[in-house]
Amino acid sequence: MFMAHSGVRYLVLLFGAACALYALVGWATGRPYDRTMRVIASTFAGTLHLQILLGFAVILTIPGSFSAALMGHILPLVIAAVVVQLPVSVMRRRPEDQRTYAPHAVSSLIALALIWAGVAAIGRSLLESTG
């Protein structure tokens, strides 16, 4: 379970970076909102949700793994998942002509900062190998 949680982080970071870049380029160029943005943002949100579920499974399967530092890890990541999910849900309900890249750009950058803070809370770096 720990190895899965450790490995999925690379997917979270990949889709987070892709979401931020695609949204920033779309926002900067004024390009019409498209399906690709919805798919990338949904994939980022989904992998982040999966990462949180795997993290909770790790906590439940490793006795004595819960600590104060772990709360500093969990809280920012849960907030990041909420921040990423909000524009996905809101844009889905908006009419086509009112959809924009800005909420995805802002939310993905905030989420990536929260992810960094959550990982730093347990004394690790984002790309550090575990094992």
Residue 110 has pLDDT above 80, yes or no: yes
Query: Tens digit of pLDDT for each residue in 45-98?
Result: 999 999 999 988 888 887 776 677 788 889 999 999 999 999 999 999 999 889
Mean pLDDT of the chain: 90
120 pLDDT more than 90: no
Specify the pLDDT at position 127: 66
Evaluate if residue 114 carries a pLDDT over 90. Answer: yes
CA–CA separation, 70 and 130 (whole Å): 16
pLDDT in the model for residue 103:
96
Nearest to 108 by CA among 54, 51, 40: 40
At 112 the pLDDT is 97
Range 16-21 contact pairs with CB under 8 angstroms and sequence separation of 24 or more: 16/44, 16/48, 16/84, 16/108, 16/111, 16/112, 16/115, 17/112, 18/44, 19/43, 19/44, 19/84, 19/104, 19/108, 20/105, 20/108, 20/109, 20/112
Percentage of the chain surpassing pLDDT 70? 93
User: Quick check: helix, strand or coil at residue 31?
Assistant: coil
Rounded Cα gap, residues 69 and 121, in angstroms: 6
What predicted TM-score, i.e. pTM, was given to this entire model?
0.88
